[in-house]
Amino acid sequence: MPVTILVGTQWGDEGKGKVTDVLADEAQLIARYNGGDNAGHTLAVQEQTYKLHFIPSGILRPGVMSLMGGGMVIHPERLLNEMESLRRQGIEVTPQRLKLATNAHIITPAHQLLEQAQEKARGRAKLDTTGRGIGPAYASKIAREGIRAAAMRDPDAFGTAIYQAIAQTNRVLNLIYQDEPLDADAVARYYHNVASELAPYLVDSWALVHAMLREGGHVLAEGGQATLLDVDHGNYPYVTSSNPVAGGALVGLGFGPRVVDRVIGVAKAFCTRVGAGPFPTQVEGEMAERMRGDGSQAWDDFGTTTGRPRRMGWLDLVALRYAVAVNGLTELALTKLDVLSRFADIPVAVAYEIDGERTDAYPVDMARFARATPIYETLPGWEVDIMGVTRYADLPAAARRYVEWIEAQLEVPLTLVSVGPGREQTLLRG
Ligand code: GDP
Ligand code: IMO
Ligand code: MG
């Protein structure tokens, strides 16, 4: 069946890029449906590491088309830089292979400056965003003051719209935050010039998706961010400003629910989070350092986008059950199982205690969530390197037990286990 949605189930960085890359050869179109370059999807293919921010993970597969969907926000200059750096790595980035939706929204330097001022004003209550201007760009869109990518077809009009947007933000920066204004003329001139470079990539995303489906093609919708960062279903306000949940794919690309047959949730075998907000199963100190790695390996848990050390914690089944429900997951992919080889015992949260009561229902109310203490069950570790394992059956018994126990707890088939960043370090189950 035609559409597969791939979604992060935790706080991002679950390995969505890697899993998309593994599944990409089954698809004709890979489409990102939300977010911008707050996302960082890392792919390790044949000794090379590729870091993707705007561009879908299908770009590495010859013969596959990639679409940046209408639910995304795009910073033209940073997109052009990403395209250029992929070309330097030998990847063909052309308007035939890569498409940008006409209804995606533009991030301007004013959005970024505004976000900096907002974060500063929040002080200790800052959200700790990626600082890319994502929130203000979505705010402009929802306020009906945004600029759509389609505007780049007319560089003069686009330059004027950018000028007006910058001038407007300058007033806000000056009046509310007493910050320095941007040079609206210079920004508008620059955006005028990039418009003609990006215009050849523009396409109406609904039309592309439906043409693919009519021809019997397979579309893989790749989420940025993740369920617990969703603006509606995540830990508001410690969220991003888009809808990473599966429903976001329908809105962000323009198709209905009946064409979707698989919804794959990607989960790390433990939990990480970058940025602020409650994290019930977080561990600190030596345990966190051991889980994170020291940064000497490309896959150690430091942010792809910001380089920040990720906060580390044990797997949280309460949150995962919630992700199964709100995304309608049909299957689960479990990544980074190899990292747990470092531990003799592996605690997993099976329920929370909140105000003295046990619950296994994820609390949407942030104040309650912030008071949740995890109740753990501890599973035995395996303490041997599994990064070279190529068949599921060859995993140590304790590792298989961990996987199968999670599958039983969540009542969703766990169809893919990842034991390393490489394509070949992927164990398919059934
Ligand atoms: P994404 O944002 O969900 O695509 O995930 P990121 O790319 O930000 O972070 C995942 C990191 O883990 C990347 O460096 C991947 O190359 C790496 N990775 C993915 N799967 C595995 C795995 O099974 N084991 C290990 N060790 N690394 C993995
Ligand atoms: P991928 O696609 C992890 C986090 C930020 C911050 C919050 C809001 O690589 O999984 P934003 O800049 O979006 O307004 O920041 O969301 N965040 C991510 N964390 N992975 C991501 O993307 C993220 N995108 C945003 O750290 O806490
Ligand atoms: Mg990431």
What are the Cα distances from residue 257, in Å, to 17, 212, 261, 262, 394? 23, 16, 9, 11, 38
Going from the Cα of 12 to the center of ligand 3, the distance in angstroms, rounded, reads 6
- Tell which atom from ligand 2 comes closest to the C-alpha of 35: 13
User: What pLDDT is attached to residue 178?
Assistant: 86
* 80 token code pair: 């052009």
Per-residue pLDDT tens for 8-37?
999 999 999 999 999 998 999 999 999 999
Q: Which of 255, 252, 225, 254 is nearest to 241 (CA)?
A: 225
Ligand nearest to the CA of 130: 2
DSSP 380-401: E---S--TT--SGGGS-HHHHH
279 with 250: CB under 8 angstroms?
no
Q: Cα dihedral angle (230, 235, 240, 241), rounded to 10 degrees?
A: 70
Question: Does ligand 1 come within 6 angstroms of the Cβ of 244?
Answer: no
User: What pLDDT is attached to residue 306?
Assistant: 72
Report the Cα 332 to chain-centroid distance in Å: 16
Q: What is d(CA 319, CA 233) in angstroms, rounded to the nearest whole number?
A: 11
User: What pLDDT is attached to residue 323?
Assistant: 98
Using only the alpha carbons of the chain, give its radius of gyration: 21
Q: What is the mean pLDDT of each run of 10 residues along the chain (430 residues)?
A: 93 97 95 97 92 96 96 98 98 98 97 95 93 97 97 97 94 88 94 96 97 96 98 97 98 97 98 95 96 93 82 98 98 98 98 97 95 98 98 98 98 98 94
- DSSP structure class, residue 308: P
Q: Which of 51, 19, 20 is nearest to 219 (CA)?
A: 20
Angle between helices 109-122 and 155-177 (to 10 degrees): 20
Q: CB 131: neighbour CB atoms within 10 A?
A: 13
* 367 token code pair: 């104040």
Bridge-based pairing state of the strands 345-354 and 311-313:
unpaired
User: What pLDDT is attached to residue 1?
Assistant: 52
Q: Residue 236 — left, alpha, or beta (φ > 0 → left; ψ -120 to 50 → alpha)?
A: beta
Q: Which of 97, 144, 108, 127 is nearest to 36 (CA)?
A: 108
Question: Does ligand 2 come within 6 angstroms of the Cβ of 74?
Answer: no
Tell the residue number behind the tokens 């979604």, with chain if given: 7
Given 21, 25, 37, 41, the catalytic residue? 41
First to last CA, the chain: 18
- Tell which atom from ligand 1 comes closest to the C-alpha of 305: 8
Going from the Cα of 19 to the center of ligand 1, the distance in angstroms, rounded, reads 9
* 188 token code pair: 């508008």
Question: Does ligand 2 come within 6 angstroms of the Cβ of 37?
Answer: no
Going from the Cα of 80 to the center of ligand 3, the distance in angstroms, rounded, reads 20
39 with 225: CB under 8 angstroms?
yes
Amino acid at 352: Y
* 284 token code pair: 């600190």
Does the annotation count 37 as an active-site position?
no
Domains and CATH numbers, the chain: 3-95+204-428 (3.90.170.10), 105-201 (1.10.300.10)
Going from the Cα of 42 to the center of ligand 1, the distance in angstroms, rounded, reads 6
Does the annotation count 41 as an active-site position?
yes
Model confidence, pTM: 0.97
Bridge-based pairing state of the strands 41-45 and 105-106:
unpaired
